[in-house]
């Protein structure tokens, strides 16, 4: 399954020089030796999974399993079997006993990535595991005791999801024992030069003009976007010094947005809606718009359904693509 990873890596290195990340790593050092559940929040590409790995590597569980489960990608029809396992004959097609991912991770660490997308029925079972430290395989009435350290990651505001009724309040408080928020790259521009040096390698440097452009850019994809840019530069640029002319056009035209003046007549929810709809007008596809907004395509779809404009913007994007093809 593409949504489940069991990385086997050496000690995790988090490149930084900002005070914000120094404080965050100091917090990690205090949290890692404990068994407390951790909720890591941050926009897409900020390094939530890497930070989770850092917590695992500094814990007494570091030699045990470290399993990452992407909750937004799990198949709704098989998610319970994947997580909890099943007995032979538990349902049609269950021709053998299966050990679930949670049972496999016993004594180790499980990272539930994008936990805000977890289905309500599975939220209930996860809550039981956190409360009772036990699970049941599908088709079995025998409890299985587990000792797992849970780290949950999300790019959503789970407190808002609780208010909407899409996320269980009791589960939220269970996983939110220790809350860590990773700042976006645009909030810590002092980290950009050291990240560039790390990703580009010792033999490459960035001239002053290009560095200024990169620092002024908004980085909606955060560190992941910066890393991808550096990879492209290493592949396609033969010169050792990176110049402005080597940078993609989007970095030149899409710098940091100026601050939006406060409008007492507009609520935060209305402002979010306006910003999302403007992004859809600017980009030719939902995927591009979602990337620029720092959210997943699924989250964007949910927002459009919530605003009641999903069909309208599906047609709009299709018309724009047709127009581009005709050109």
The secondary structure of 75-99 as a DSSP string is -TTTHHHHHH-B-TTSSTT--S-B-
Question: Among 134, 119, 101, which residue's Cα sits nearest to residue 171?
Answer: 119
Across the range 229-251, mean pLDDT stands at 92
User: Which pLDDT value is given to residue 262?
Assistant: 57
Q: Is 178 exposed, middle or buried (0-12, 13-18, 19+ CB in 10 A)?
A: middle
Question: Among 173, 147, 152, 178, which residue's Cα sits nearest to residue 60?
Answer: 147
The tokens describing 47, both together, are 């390094």
Across the range 16-36, mean pLDDT stands at 95
Backbone angles phi, psi at 69, to 5 degrees: -120, 120
Q: What is the CA radius of gyration of the chain?
A: 22
Across the range 232-238, mean pLDDT stands at 93
CA 101, distance to chain mean position in Å, is 20
Instruction: For residues 113 and 49, give the distance between their C-alpha atoms in angstroms, rounded to a whole number.
Output: 8
Report the DSSP pairing between strands 66-70 and 144-145: unpaired
Backbone angles phi, psi at 313, to 5 degrees: -80, -20
Instruction: For residues 15 and 205, give the distance between their C-alpha atoms in angstroms, rounded to a whole number.
Output: 17
User: Which pLDDT value is given to residue 315?
Assistant: 40
Q: How many degrees, rounded to 5, is the angle at CA 322 between CA 317 and CA 326?
A: 150
**pLDDT tens-digit readout, 108-132:** 999 999 999 998 888 998 898 899 9
Across the range 75-95, mean pLDDT stands at 87
Instruction: For residues 234 and 33, give the distance between their C-alpha atoms in angstroms, rounded to a whole number.
Output: 38
User: Which pLDDT value is given to residue 263?
Assistant: 65
Residue 245 in this model has a pLDDT that exceeds 50? yes
Hunting for tokens 């016993």 — which residue is that?
106
User: Which pLDDT value is given to residue 307?
Assistant: 77
User: Which pLDDT value is given to residue 250?
Assistant: 80
User: Which pLDDT value is given to residue 24?
Assistant: 95
């Amino acid at each position: 399954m593409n949504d489940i990873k069991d990385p086997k890596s050496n000690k995790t290195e988090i490149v930084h020089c900002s005070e914000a990340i120094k404080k965050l790593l100091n917090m990690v050092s205090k949290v890692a030796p404990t068994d407390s559940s951790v909720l890591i929040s941050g926009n897409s590409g900020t390094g939530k999974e890497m930070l989770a790995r850092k917590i695992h590597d500094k814990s007494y569980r570091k030699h045990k399993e470290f399993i990452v489960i992407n909750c937004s990608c799990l198949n709704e029809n098989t998610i319970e079997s994947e997580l909890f396992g099943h007995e032979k004959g538990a349902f049609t097609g269950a021709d053998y006993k299966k050990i679930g991912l949670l049972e496999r991770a016993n004594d180790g660490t499980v990272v539930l990535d994008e936990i805000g997308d977890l289905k309500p029925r599975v939220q209930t079972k996860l809550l039981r595991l956190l409360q009772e430290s036990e699970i049941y395989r599908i088709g079995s009435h025998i409890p299985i005791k587990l000792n797992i350290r849970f780290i949950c990651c999300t790019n959503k505001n789970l407190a808002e999801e609780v208010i909407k009724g899409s996320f269980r309040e009791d589960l939220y408080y269970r996983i939110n024992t220790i809350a860590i928020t990773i700042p976006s790259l645009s909030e810590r521009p002092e980290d950009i030069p050291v990240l560039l040096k790390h990703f580009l390698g010792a033999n490459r440097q960035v001239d002053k003009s290009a560095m200024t452009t990169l620092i002024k850019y908004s980085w909606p994809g955060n560190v992941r976007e910066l890393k991808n840019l550096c990879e492209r530069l290493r592949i396609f640029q033969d010169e050792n010094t990176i110049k402005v002319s080597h940078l993609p056009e989007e970095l030149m035209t899409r710098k940091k947005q100026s601050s939006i003046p406060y409008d007492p007549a507009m609520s935060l929810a209305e402002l979010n809606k306006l910003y999302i709809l403007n992004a859809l007008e600017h980009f030719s596809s939902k995927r591009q718009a979602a990337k620029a907004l720092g959210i997943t395509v699924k989250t964007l779809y949910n927002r459009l359904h919530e605003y009641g404009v999903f069909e309208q913007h599906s047609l709009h994007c299709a018309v724009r693509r047709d127009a581009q093809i005709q050109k």
